[in-house]
Structure 1
Amino acid sequence: MVAVADKVVLVTGGRRGLGAALVDELLARGARKVYATARSAHTDERPEVVSAELEVRSAASVAALAEVATDVDIVFNNAGILLPAPLLTGDLDDATTTFDVNVFGPLRVARAFAPVLAANGGGALVNMHSVLSWMSGAGAYGASKAAAWSVTNTLRGELAGQKTQVVGVHAGFIDTEMVSAVDLPKATPADIAARIVDGLEAGATEVLTDDVTVAAKAALSGPVEDLAFPFAR
């Protein structure tokens, strides 16, 4: 388990939505410094927050950040994208972008920061997934989150030797700009951020942040047809 107090943390996509809520939660729990990234330059007046540009689709951008942020103890892979991309009829470029951001983006960050975490004692890597990792009907987004879940589970084994806690986070719909057009019940970013950090500090390897996610995980042992979700057909 990794306590947040006095730690240095990286939050990708930390300017808004869940990322911003994570930054707030980490500071409230005593994080010494938080690197909050976005694709373009931004400012944060809090002295503990270091704003940084990061394009997770660029290995060079990720490497440049890792060269600067050598004091990081905990990495939150939160940056993601949701595009309307059905697998058969959607724009293939949108599907490719979705996988590049949601799957290969976190992997690039993990590869770049694994040596940093090792040098600082192991720390933790926290990857954001989705309830849609386990359900069909969400096009390229759901498929990318399923792939991201698998990547996280593999990284957990590969990083065990350096004592890095790897946490996979699954959540239903969160009240952020990303899903503003979805007319379904949504949790607040602050509530989800608190549950994620609770899990990290409790030593969890997987955090299920809400009832719908718990139900979806339980359904994995049943017929695959029960996992259909009418989200993007």
Structure 2
Amino acid sequence: MKIANAVALVTGANRGIGRTFVEELLKRGVDKIYVAARDTASLADLLKLGDSRLVPLPLDVTDADQVAAAASVAGDVTLLINNAGYAAFDGAISAPNMDDARAEMEVNYFGPLALTRAFAPVLAKTGGAVVNMLSMLSLISLPMAATYSASKAAGLSLTRSIRAELGEQGTQVVGVLAVQADTAMGAKMPEPRLSPVEVVTDALDAIEAGTNDEVVAGAQSRGIHQAFTADPQKVQGMMLTKLPKRA
């Protein structure tokens, strides 16, 4: 699909990769962007751009009522970007409890599922596209972010199933695989880090190219992906040495 004249909805639009998606979409000539965040006050800095194409939308992706309300309000969406994410960066066993693991699944798996289910009828009218912001940890387990890795692996499996189901209505579904980016979340991961612009540019280029698959975003991501493809056990073995810090 073409980005120009599209109507987008970006979850987690207030910062990081979400904000970069918004900025790049504006540059590519979208008609409108619903900028979604749990607290719309956090969008104040973004809205200072003064662009009338930005429409703030209160949206907690784990709240069924807010998801339904968003689909009702934003019935003209042609591009759904499931970007909102949560990471606790803890081990599966070393974490004090399972609260963060449940939160990661709620945001990173059930959130995109709920949004895509809600907007599937809307996208059926336009063909449209869905972008799910995943991670290279969808493919590789990292013990120091164990339950986050699991939630992103679930997200990748979900993305592939959604792609198959929505193919009949002509909806394009792209999963974005990327290593750590230079964001508040990515700052907890080791350097070097990707520029958010590099991730978003590759993702939007894939949408415009008609890609209906996963896209490995950024040169650093592609390097790791190539190494993983060549020798999955070697790369996974290296990652398994990255254990969570003991209290």
TM-score by length of 1: 0.94
Q: Go from structure 1 to structure 2 and tell me whether the alpha carbon gap of 1:41 and 1:223 turns closer, same or farther (over 3 Å shift).
A: closer
Q: Deviations over 1:153-174 (max 9, x none)?
A: 0000000011000001001111
Q: Distance in 1 between matches of 2:187 and 2:148?
A: 16
Question: % of aligned pairs identical?
Answer: 41
* Correspondences of 1:1-233 after superposition (within 5 Å): 2-42=1-41, 43=44, 44=47, 45-90=50-95, 91-119=97-125, 121-137=126-142, 138-204=145-211, 205-218=213-226, 219-220=228-229, 222-224=231-233, 226-228=235-237, 229=239, 230-231=241-242, 233=244
Q: d(CA) in 1 for partners of 2:62 and 2:188?
A: 25
Cα offset for 1:60?
Answer: 1.0
**1:25 and 1:5, CA in 2 relative to 1: closer, same or farther beyond 3 A?**
same
Which shifted more, 95-104 or 186-195? Answer: 186-195
1:33 and 1:123 mapped to 2: Cα distance?
A: 14
CA contact (8 A) 1:165 1:203 kept: yes
SS at structure 1 position matched to 2:215: strand
Q: CA deviation at 1:216?
A: 4.1
The one-character-per-residue Cα deviations of 1:72-110 (angstroms, maximum 9, x if unpaired) are 000000000111331122121110111111000110000
Q: One-letter code of the match for 2:198?
A: D
Question: What is the number of equivalent residue pairs in this alignment?
Answer: 231
Greater Cα offset, 143-152 or 129-138: 129-138
Tell me: CA distance 1:188–1:211, structure 2 relative to 1, closer, same or farther (3 Å).
Answer: closer
1:193 CA drift (Å) = 1.2
Q: Which amino acid aligns with 2:26?
A: L
Shift of 1:226: 3.0
Distance 1:215 1:187, change over 3 A: closer
CA change 1:9–1:24 in 2 (3 A) is same
State whether residues 163 and 173 of structure 2, in contact with CA within 8 Å, keep that contact through their aligned partners in structure 1. Answer: yes
3-state SS in 1 of match to 2:132: strand
Post-superposition shift, 1:184?
Answer: 1.1
* Contact 1:220–1:227 (8 Å) recurs in 2: no
Cα distance in 1 for residues equivalent to 2:117 and 2:35: 19
Distance 2:163 2:146 in 1: 26
Q: Aligned partners of 1:217 and 1:154: how far apart in 2?
A: 22
Provide runs of 4+ in structure 1 moved above 6 Å: none
Task: For structure 1, list consecutive stretches of 5 or more residues without a partner in the other structure.
Answer: none
For 1:210 and 1:198, how far apart are their aligned partners in 2?
Answer: 12
Q: Which amino acid aligns with 2:221?
A: T
Letter of the 2:16 partner, please give it. G
Measured on the aligned residues, the alpha-carbon RMSD in Å equals 1.5
Unaligned runs of 5+ in 2: none
Q: Work out the CA distance in 1 between the residues paired with 2:149 and 2:187.
A: 17
